[in-house]
Amino acid sequence: MRQTKATYIIFIICVFMGSVFAQAQSDKQKQLEARRLQLKKEMEQLNSLLFANKKKEKNVITLVEDLNYKVSVRKNLIKVTNDQANLLTRDINNNQKQISDLRDQLKELKEQYAAMIVKSYKNKSQLSRVMFLMSSTNFKQAYKRLQYIKQYSDYQKQQGEEIKAKTAKLQKLNTELLKQKEDKQKLVEENRIAKRELEAELKEHEVLMASIRSNMTKYNAQLKQKQKESDRIDKEIDRLIKEAIAASNKKAGKSKNSSAFALTPEAKALAATFEANKGKLPWPVVRGIVKMRFGKQPSAIDKTVTVNSKGVRIATEKGAKVRAVFDGEVSQIIAIPNANPVIIVRHGNYMTVYRNLSKIYVNKGDKVTAKQDLGEVFTNNSTGETLLYFRVYKDAKLENPAHWINKL
């Protein structure tokens, strides 16, 4: 009896663990599918925003940067698709094992059921049942025999229902198995195409890099010039932010040397709300991809050179509107000689910076709301590129925009 009970408990534990494992597999599959679709969407946007207009003459450096980004997305997509196919393989193997086990169980159940039917047929006459009851030595024995007949009949029905349930489960598993095999085949084919495209992109990248290596002095000079221009704009932005901090402290009667804003109760409340929405803020453009992320990273041209990005560079579509990521006040509109305009929006002691604009829709001092259009992103007519440079500051300190913007 104890052994039977122990066996039953072990069976229940195995069923429970199997259920938990199956659910974990299902959840993982959903996560991978969501990530795969996200990467496919990113690839579509990338092709649309960076590679659609082939008539435009991009310089080699820009082409290498774009190809680097495309290759990295393609590699991620291949990896995720491969992981998904491998997980499906495990699911298929698991289902095949379940199908095999169910078939064995069904065979045994049907044999037992057939034996019961034969036995019932042999003893089916009402007379034999009556004689079985009447031959009892006392009432108690007769009652027990009656209960036995009822239990036997119920057990027959139960066996029949179990056969029906297991047959239905077997059919469902067979259907799932066919679907899983189809899904896996689609993923394998998708990866085969993606790998061919990756090979072509890597060859194109190598050709471009060969042309750069043959004249590295020229391209290094171009990079230095671009960095010099960027540094000039950065210094002006930093200067104006420090001036705004000093002005807020002077107005509050505090030291002008403070590196933090002196906040009014209203500004404190706005900053607190901004902080509460960390990671949930909308993108500064409706449609775009991040070409360069925040922080130190190797140069696309020379891996020994480190680039320190103070914000993110977002490629978007021609005519794209730039929008405020949160409620605030237009602190500055910067017109820098030989550069495109910059808008700074203040949110308490936080600042968001929108650089490389062609049109401005707001004025200094204007109150703005989240997703309100501030202007239009500049499009380089010779290359066809539309790039927004976006930053987040807390007082005078730079923040990683990816920590603030939803799914950046």
Q: Give the chain as a 3 state SS string.
A: CHHHHHHHHHHHHHHHHHHHHHHHHHHHHHHHHHHHHHHHHHHHHHHHHHCCCCCCCCCHHHHHHHHHHHHHHHHHHHHHHHHHHHHHHHHHHHHHHHHHHHHHHHHHHHHHHHHHHHHHHHCCCHHHHHHHHHCCCCHHHHHHHHHHHHHHHHHHHHHHHHHHHHHHHHHHHHHHHHHHHHHHHHHHHHHHHHHHHHHHHHHHHHHHHHHHHCCHHHHHHHHHHHHHHHHHHHHHHHHHHHHHHHHHHHHCCCCCCCCCCCCCHHHHHHHHHHHHCCCCECCCCCCEEEEECCEEEECCCCCCCEEEECCEEEEECCCCEEECCCCEEEEEEECCCCCCCEEEEEECCEEEEEECEEEECCCCCCEECCCCEEEEECECCCCCCEEEEEEEEECCEEECHHHCECCC
Residue 117 one-letter amino acid? I
Q: Is the pLDDT of residue 1 over 70?
A: no
Using CA of residue 209, residue 211, residue 214, residue 218, what is the dihedral sign? Answer: negative
**pLDDT > 90 fraction of the chain, expressed in percent and rounded:** 35
Burial class of residue 32 in the structure, from the number of CB atoms within 10 Å of its CB (0-12 exposed, 13-18 middle, 19+ buried): buried
Q: How far is CA 175 from the centre of its chain?
A: 29
Domains of the chain by start residue, with CATH: 2-213 (1.10.287), 229-403 (2.70.70.10)
- Distance separating alpha carbons of residues 151 and 144, to the nearest angstrom: 10
Q: Is the pLDDT of residue 204 over 60?
A: yes
Token pair 């900053």 is found at 271
Q: Is the pLDDT of residue 150 over 50?
A: yes
Highest mean pLDDT among 20-29, 47-56, 244-253: 244-253
Exposure on the CB side of residue 223, measured as CA atoms within 13 A: 20
Q: Is the pLDDT of residue 3 over 60?
A: no
- Give pLDDT tens digits for 159-193: 667 767 777 777 777 777 788 888 888 888 999 99
- Give pLDDT tens digits for 91-149: 888 877 877 777 777 677 677 766 666 665 555 544 465 565 567 677 677 667 666 66
- Distance separating alpha carbons of residues 317 and 48, to the nearest angstrom: 8
Residue 205 one-letter amino acid? H
Highest mean pLDDT among 157-171, 202-216, 292-306, 307-321: 307-321
Q: What is the number of residues in the chain?
A: 408
**Is the CB of residue 353 less than 8 Å from the CB of residue 237?**
yes
What the block records as the tokens of 244 is: 């705004």
Q: What is the mean pLDDT of residues 194-204?
A: 90
According to the model, what pLDDT value does residue 374 have? Answer: 98
- Distance separating alpha carbons of residues 392 and 345, to the nearest angstrom: 10
Q: Is the pLDDT of residue 211 over 70?
A: yes
Q: Is the pLDDT of residue 347 over 90?
A: yes
Token pair 């992109």 is found at 201
**pLDDT > 70 fraction of the chain, expressed in percent and rounded:** 80
Query: 119 to each of 124, 125, 126, 160, 189, how far by Cα in Å?
Result: 8, 12, 14, 15, 56
